[in-house]
Structure 1
Amino acid sequence: MGNPKAFMTIPRKEAGYRPVSERIYDFGEVEQTLHREDRKLQASRCMDCGIPFCQWGCPLGNKMPEWQDLIYKGNWKKAIEILHETNNFPDFTGRICPAPCEKSCVLSLHEAPVTIRENEAAVTEVAFNEGLIKAQAPAHRTGRKVAVIGSGPAGMAAAQQLNRKGHHVTVFEKSRSVGGLLRYGIPNFKLAKNVIDRRLTQLIEEGIVFQTQTEIGKDIPGSRLLADYDAVCIAIGAGHPRNIDPPGRDLKGIYFAMDFLSQENELLMEEELTFSEKISARNKHVLVIGGGDTGSDCVGTSIRQRALQVTQIEIMPKPPVGKNPATPWPYYPHILKTSSSHEEGCERRWALNTVSFNGENGQVREAVVEEVRWEKDENGRMKMVPTGPTEVMKADLVLLALGFVHPVHAGLLDELGVAYDARGNVAVDTAGQTSVPKIFATGDASTGASLVVRAIASGRKVAEHIHQKLLV
């Protein structure tokens, strides 16, 4: 390491966010950037710790110590090359990854880990600005054809890896634009869509064909796909939302979070709306049910739509602040997370279960919630126990951010004759191969909803297995 003692003299410095008074009036990215010299100093804090737990914690196995040191030395070109060895899209993960690498950093023991995620975004921006990221078309073509169904992070990663092996790759996407959850699910204030567009340009220049507004089973029969391609990779994600069904669920004004978030992104892109009914938080009391990242995104979007009040409730108890003995270092800690959206003005409540919804003229106006506690049953499993007190909360707009349960297109799996489990996830072996020999599955379609970084890792892994299969 160039400066093995920097971690003792240079404090952790984050780029921070744009002022709340400014950012809530637009959908521009909220996170700021540090200039190069500050970024080099932050990279120098990566210590020669012997065992890089950061690399162990990263689903992609990114070589953090190597490219941190290169940033410190000002060798941005070599840094992005090493980063790209393991991660196709560090500009995505550098913005939206929860950074398990930082949680596993040795300096996290002192609550001051290296700013790995921000450094990752920074080195990618420098590389794009200086023309260091160029299309890498294969030197020769194998003549083999691969179809990738779905253009989210897993699908794009698999497509790029397979294309660079020389195979002809076509990506089929049912939506108008490429990107999947990155495009339609994540708000612009976390991931600007031009970041996806510039990667898409690169992938097209490398020779990948993208066919949008094309649904397999509807626009192209599954039998034709199997006949025309040597291998098929299913990367359709896990977009079916988890639901609840208390009395009053059928009232107007109660929507799934992804319908709300996708519609806002479609409006910003000036696309035709997929969900025909306009969903607006303007001048409303918004209740977000679900305490995860999707719920947080609903909070930020509602605030930008000029909601009167935003409340987010979670059925689980409030996590501890700072450290949690139940999830010690170097494991990912289950602790209280406060997002940029929460800082913009939101009431947060925990251990509340939704009992019912009340309405007026068919429109939701209130939610009735009750306090709960969690305890272990005789088998050691956690169970929810109502504690009695109930409360009525104002709610003109209710957004259900309860996670996802299985691939949104189970019909597609039937069309292709692919087996799936009781949860709706595609059944695969360790190589990602399905019950149909030439069909593979990757990302959330096979694992259930997870992180973008895991989707990219899965896409890369299954691409290698497909490549080996095609060589036989």
Structure 2
Amino acid sequence: MSFDLLRSEIIDAGLCQGCGLCAGYCKHIEMETLRPTLKDYCILEREGQDCGKCYQNCPQVLQKKFKELQPLGIYSLRSKDSEILEKASSGGFVTTITKQLLKDKELSEVVMVQNIDDLPKASRVTDPEDVIQNAGAVYGRSGVLEKLVEVTGDNFEPVGIVGVPCEIRGASEMGEEMNRDILKIGLFCNSSMRTAETDRGLVCSPCCGGCPSGVNAQGYISLIREGKYLEAVDLIRNDNPLPSICGRICTHECEHGCTLIGSDHPVAIRELKKFITEYEIKQDIKKSVKIKKKLGKKVAIIGAGPAGLTAGYFLSLKGYSPTIFEKTDHTGGMLRYGVPQFRLPDYVLDYDVETIKKAGVDIVFNKPLGPDMTIEDLKNDGYEAVFIATGQYKPRTLHLEGEELPNVHVAINFLIDRKYRDWQKQQEFKGKTIGIIGGGPVAVDVAQTALRLGAEKIHLVDIMNEKDLELVLREIPEEELKFMEYHFETSVSKISKGEGETLVLNSYKIEKGEVDNTGRRSINKIEGSDYEIKADAIVIAVGQAVDFNLIDIATGNKLKKEHNKIEIDPITFETNIPGVFAGGDTITHSKAVAIAAIAHGKEAAISIDRYLKGEDLSKGRYRQNKMFFEGITRTPKDYSLKPESLEEATEDIQWNFEEIEAMFTEDMALAEARRCLSCNHYCSHCQDFPAIYSDFTAGEVGSKQGFTTVVAWTERGKEIIEKSIAQGSFEEGTVNEDELKKAINLKSKREMEVLEKTPRQQVLDYVTLQGPTTISNISKTLNLETKKVRYEALRLVQLNQIEMNVEPGLEEPRFSPLCED
């Protein structure tokens, strides 16, 4: 059992959990970028020595079928320590109990994951106060078992470990082998990632959990590693029917939670998506989409933007007959009219739309919602549900003095005019300076367009600081950024005429005040900070609004609105009008990015399906603010990188409207895909949700928000819990045991990964099934080296798993199953 077997069956197969146990056992193995690697050589391969500890002791190799085990106690607890509640997860049970065990000297040391510099690190904790100071870490790939081996090697006092079920299983096996009584504090599997996927008993990696539409990035990257590029695109379409578009313009929030951050740069997930979707396009494969038999029910969708296209696609797959009514003569919405060609070429958008049409979605052009097509008209025409996804086309301004002056534009009109309205002035801004009010993505689109039309200088004025706009700035090629000057934390009082035909942005510096009772911070002018920015043209890029004139007519002014957006149920996306749903940029608190609109369309399709079946729209679903409604609240700790050659190609600007981003070659894509750790893929083959090999387990399933569900599995665990309750450390709540049992049962039904049996397991199985036998018989039957069989059989005897009998007159000892008393 060499390291090669561990690498092929566990590491390269994406089953390594990063616990570090193999590195703890073997001095020739080290953890490099969160996965085991040989630092010199494997003694079995080089010296032929019997070993195999790395493989035989791997918790993934030692997978055990879930067994029913009766808990000795189930509790719902919340810490009474306010400092702990501020930092710890859910009810703060694990932090409180660990601190208490160290403080009372019941444990001399605990191995646990701690939040060190905002990254999860396996730590040896001896000081009770350190438990609190570094609480709140997310478990996974932290090397806790490597640390535990280290602890048990030099500390012979009572020790403990906090870990997820697979880590606890490894610790349990290790404790038996080393004859050490280790207190095992378990955590429910995936307890820190409550998503629709985990609630259904499925597996969700951090990248999947960070995608508004729940795309299985880990899954399709695994397919890329295998060279299955078309299958990878198909997997994306299970959750997102616009993969080619997202390969270009997605905000790639999936990368922000990549486990590699802190050890390496995150995987370039968007670049990989771009590679495989472009590969599919070039293959010119006529895609066929499997759809259910039509149910004879019609759904009207208003708007052919990302939300409307997505809703239509998924409704068609469910057997409905969706029709998209689009007010213009093209699909795509703002993706087509607002995003420049050099960021999103038309052929990419058209390809994804064609796939959606092949799925059975009808699209009617030049048909706006309004007096000529009302909601009532649609119902009379047999449409049983309506999804409104009209987007935002109404330009916003700041109502400044001078906005009406010549050469003052609004961003959306500026971009549309220079993309589709037969624009011939290729040198419109040659040698000129452009002033832009705003510094976000749309402002950058304006700036890049102006540069391609000859501008030599761009001023961008924004009230945000450089850190706030970090994500935007990173997307701008260096060769373009040097022509742009950002005026951060700056506002404009008015636009005025300058000399000749020039314009002036009358600007001043601002500072933000304290947060008020609405959660917002006031913006205050810094006195004496006024200055002028001279420009030949000015573009106002401060966003768009929904134009409700036609929508109000079509809905008879019945549609409820909030802050000039459609108010919806945040779980079902239904409006106050029964059977009428809404999504995309038209709704309150929308993130206003394509992938969120796609997620809205996907969720709305689920709701419409339930509505037409007469089912509960909310059952089994919950509000997902981060996914659907909230923008990125803080910048990620690190960013994905392109290979140097690709970076150079991207920076080589041609100053035309061709796509500016170069893409991965096949070799680049494969190399990048191999960096992926396949996080939580190993969970697909584990049946143990509640960590039954622990002394007690904790997690949030089964308790109301703010409380921790705690399950005692051993008498020792129960005694510790009840002693802490008696000491007044916790407030007690009630447990929903049905919810807990549901989570346990869901995971217990997973199919386990079938791996090659270790020689030890083969010998044990043979003896157990065949009864008394000899080393010669075992070696011959199993085709194993005699020396290896002898070693494993004697080791099994030492572990009290089989017994050996030496009988007079026999040349060999006989090995038998262990007889129970």
Q: By the TM > 0.5 criterion, same fold?
A: yes
The letter of the residue matching 1:371 is: K
Against the structure 1 CA distance between its residues 165 and 90, is the aligned structure 2 distance closer, same or farther, given a 3 Å change threshold?
same
Helix, strand or coil at the partner of 1:220 = coil
Q: What value does the CA root-mean-square deviation take over the aligned residues?
A: 2.9
What does residue range 263-282 of structure 1 map to in structure 2 within 5 Å?
263-267=417-421, 270=422, 280-282=428-430
Residues 396 and 382 of structure 1: is their aligned pair in 2 closer, same or farther, counting only changes over 3 Å? same
Change (3 A) 1:449 1:253: farther
Q: 2:609 aligns with which of 464, 467, 471?
A: 467
**What is the Cα deviation at residue 362 of structure 1?**
10
> In the aligned structure 2, how far is the partner of 1:53 from the partner of 1:253?
47
Matches within 5 A, 1:167-186: 167-186=320-339
Q: Pairwise mapping of residues 304-453 of structure 1 onto structure 2 (< 5 A)?
A: 304-319=452-467, 337-340=473-476, 343-344=479-480, 345-359=483-497, 365-376=503-514, 379=517, 381-387=520-526, 388-404=528-544, 406-417=545-556, 418-429=558-569, 430-447=571-588, 448=590, 450-453=592-595
CA offsets, 1:135-156, max 9 Å, x none? 3153421111111100100000
- In structure 1, the residue matched to 2:21 is none
- Measured after TM superposition, the shift of residue 223 of structure 1 is 2.7
For the structure 1 residues 304 and 433, does the alpha-carbon distance in structure 2 shift closer, same or farther, using more than 3 Å as the test?
A: same
Partner residue of 2:225 out of 72, 84, 89: 72
Which residue of the partner structure matches residue 30 of structure 1? none
Deviations 1:202-239 (A, max 9, x none): 22233221111111214434431231111111011133
Give, in angstroms, the shift of residue 364 of structure 1: 5.7
CA distance in 2, matches of 1:381, 1:204: 44
| 1:360-417 CA-partner distances (Å, limit 9, x unpaired) | 699661111011122315657422121121111112211111123x423343134213
Q: Alpha carbons of 1:360 and 1:91: their partners in 2 closer, same or farther (altered >3 Å)? A: same
* TM, length-normalised to structure 2: 0.48
Match of 1:257 among 390, 404, 411: 411
Q: Is the 8 A contact 1:152 1:236 kept in 2?
A: yes
Rounded to whole Å, the distance in 1 between the matches of 2:608 and 2:236 is 23
SS in 2 for 1:106: coil
For residue 339 of structure 1, report the CA deviation from its aligned partner. 2.6
| Deviation larger for 294-303 or 220-229 | 220-229
- Cα deviation for residue 131 of structure 1 reads 4.7
Aligned to 1:293: 441
The CA deviation at 1:120 is 1.1
Alignment of 1:19-38 (within 5 A): none
Cα displacement string for residues 281-316 of structure 1 (whole angstroms, at most 9, x for unaligned residues): 444321111111001111110001111321112112
- TM-score normalised by the chain length of structure 1: 0.81
Give 3-state SS (helix, strand or coil) of 1:453's partner. helix
CA distance 1:231–1:362, change in 2 (3 Å) = farther
- Secondary structure of the 2:532 match is strand
Q: Which amino acid aligns with 2:415?
A: L
- The question of whether the paired residues in 1 share the 8 Å contact of 2:370 and 2:553 is answered with no
Distance 2:426 2:282 in 1: 38
Shift in CA distance, 194/6, structure 1 to aligned 2, threshold 3 Å: farther
User: Which letter maps to 1:392?
Assistant: E
In the alignment, structure 1 segments of 5+ residues that lack a partner are: 10-47, 322-333
When residues 363 and 208 of structure 1 are mapped into structure 2, their CA distance, relative to the original with a 3 A threshold, is farther
Q: SS of the counterpart of 1:107?
A: coil
What SS does structure 2 have at the residue aligned with 1:444? helix
Bigger CA drift: 435-444 or 102-111?
102-111
Report the 3-state secondary structure (helix = DSSP H, G, I; strand = E; otherwise coil) of the residue aligned with 2:581.
Answer: strand
DSSP-derived class of the 2:587 partner: helix
The answer to whether the Cα contact below 8 Å between 1:260 and 1:279 also exists between their aligned partners in 2 is no
Q: Percent identity?
A: 27
| 2:701 matched residue in structure 1 | none
Matched with 1:15 is none
Query: 5 Å matches for 1:81-92?
Result: 81-92=234-245
C-alpha change, 1:77 and 1:2, in structure 2 (3 Å) is farther
CA distance in 2, matches of 1:179, 1:320: 29
Matched, 1:455 2:609: no
Partner residue, 2:23: none
Question: Which range moves more in the overlay, 77-86 or 436-445?
Answer: 77-86
Partners of 1:158 and 1:213 in 2: how far apart? 20
Q: How many angstroms does 1:55 deviate by?
A: 1.5
SS of 2:209's equivalent? helix
Task: Write the distance in 1 (CA, Å) between the matches of 2:515 and 2:325.
Answer: 47
Give the CA deviation at 1:246: 2.5
- In structure 1, how many angstroms separate the alpha carbons of the residues matched to 2:353 and 2:427? 29
Structure 2, gaps ≥5 residues long = 1-10, 15-30, 36-139, 143-189, 191-204, 615-821
Q: Which SS does the other structure have where 1:86 is aligned?
A: coil
**Contact residue 496 and residue 504 of structure 2 kept, 8 A:** yes
Match of 1:59 in 2: 212
Deviations 1:11-51 (A, max 9, x none): xxxxxxxxxxxxxxxxxxxxxxxxxxxxxxxxxxxxx9597
Match of 2:609, as an amino acid? H
Larger radius of gyration: 2
SS in 2 for 1:312: strand
Q: Give SS of 1:373's match.
A: strand
Counterpart of 2:419 in 1: which secondary structure? helix
Q: Contact between 1:251 and 1:364, CA under 8 Å: does it hold in 2?
A: no
The 8 Å contact of residues 60 and 87 in structure 1, kept in 2 or not, is answered as yes
Change (3 A) 1:385 1:75: same
Q: 1:419 to 1:336 in 2, by over 3 A?
A: closer
The separation in 2 between residues aligned to 1:451 and 1:79, in whole angstroms, is: 23
Aligned equivalents of 1:426, 1:362: Cα separation in 2? 45
Amino acid at match of 2:560: Y
Deviation at 1:134, TM superposition (A): 1.0
Equivalent of 1:191 in 344, 347, 358: 344
Greater Cα shift, 459-468 or 442-451: 442-451
Q: Give the Cα–Cα distance (whole angstroms) in 1 for the partners of residues 327 and 533 of structure 2.
A: 38
CA distance 1:7–1:192, change in 2 (3 Å): farther
Q: 1:414 to 1:306 in 2, by over 3 A?
A: same
Tell me the CA shift for residue 467 of structure 1: 1.2
